[in-house]
Amino acid sequence: MALGNKHHKTLDNVKSLLKDRKGYRAAVHLITGHAGLNSHLYKMTLTDTNICPLCEIEEETVGHFLGQCPALARIRGDYFNCYYASMTEIFENFDILKIVSYAKHTKRLDYERKDESGVT
């Protein structure tokens, strides 16, 4: 995942999330692409489909979630002042804290722990 020209600032902002476990986890998941979205979960055989459950049209990748899902267009417009954008455009033009705030608002990356192993 390319963080654009502001990668040092992005890393500093990710560090600022250390006290916010949920926000920190969301930032790392979105940056690495290892998010609890169907595309990744399908590759790990944790779900039977890679399709987005919100729009039921496309594969639910980080790029789809951040910039392309029509079901999230209104929320995306509120946060990023655009309804559709590429993942690169979002990471280059918006602070990681804003991106994490959007992700938290959608509640799409929320999960329920199924075991007590402590792994997140």
Q: Give the number of other CB atoms < 10 A from CB of residue 46.
A: 10
Question: Is-contact 55 69, C-beta < 8 A?
Answer: yes
- The pLDDT tens digits for 89-110 are 999 999 899 999 999 999 999 8
Cβ neighbours of 107 (radius 10 Å)? 7
Is pTM beyond 0.75? Reply is: yes
pLDDT tens digit sequence for 18-41: 778 888 899 999 999 999 999 999
Cα-based angle 24, 28, 34 (whole degrees, multiple of 5): 135
